[in-house]
Amino acid sequence: MKLADLKKEWLQVVILAVPFCAVALLWDRLPGWVPIHWNARGEVDGIARKSFGTLLVPVVNVGIALLTGLLPLIDPKLRKHDPEMRASLWRTVRIFRLAITAFMSFVSLVMLAATLKLFKDGANFTYAIYIGMGFLFVVLGNFMTKLRPNYFVGIRTPWTLESKEVWAQTHRVGGRLMMVEGFLMIGLCFIVPPERYAFWVVLPLTLGFALFSILYSYVLYKKLGVVRHASQ
């Protein structure tokens, strides 16, 4: 990676560093054992020692950033693209990585806030996580159309990987659907009780998006195949 590319990573470094700085500043105020897992009602049902509990998510976040930064470099499909398309995909992957790591850093900060009992009850903690997840889906969906065919990021079905047309149209429709899903996740936080939210909202929306993407890409692939065959 060139020096100019490394300079572009300053925002990524800041996002990754924020949770570590927060842990350092709050270290003396944190108890020896901290919560690391909450049930559907936002009640603590898992704890760990302070060093492990406060640093687990930030360290995993660094791993995610490193992994997503390396994937485009080892993607054989990416090598077949022209330089302009490779640069476009790399820019979009950077945005995806920023969005995902920003969400993970947000989760880490919310966990610290919950440890310090800054939330009035567990429901507020749960809703904070789900609202953050909703915004993540909105951002990812917004940039979905800019993804170019690759083996690691995006809606990767056998049919999108086989056809550039299917890839482009599936991501255009899928991106809009993901944004709608994100807004629904945010809006429904104010309607659905926290203990039912995962089963009634997150699971149906996520499975629905996955099934739609698979079926849509398959039907579109078959349709385009018929069109090509008829035109020959």
In the chain, where the domains are located = 3-231
The sign one gets for the Cα dihedral 218, 223, 228, 229 is: positive
Amino acid of residue 99: A
Cα gap 28→143, rounded to integer Å: 41
Cα gap 180→84, rounded to integer Å: 30
Single pTM value for the model: 0.89
DSSP string, 105-142: HHHHHHHHHHHTT-SSSHHHHHHHHHHHHHHHHHHHHH
Cα gap 205→54, rounded to integer Å: 30
The sign one gets for the Cα dihedral 213, 215, 221, 224 is: negative
pLDDT, tens digit only, all 232 positions of the chain: 554 566 778 999 999 999 999 999 999 999 999 999 888 878 888 999 999 999 999 999 999 999 988 877 787 877 776 777 778 888 898 999 999 999 999 999 999 999 999 988 878 889 999 999 999 999 999 999 999 888 889 999 999 999 999 999 999 999 999 999 999 999 999 899 988 998 999 999 999 999 999 999 999 999 988 555 455 4
Q: Which tokens in the block code for residue 186?
A: 């945010």
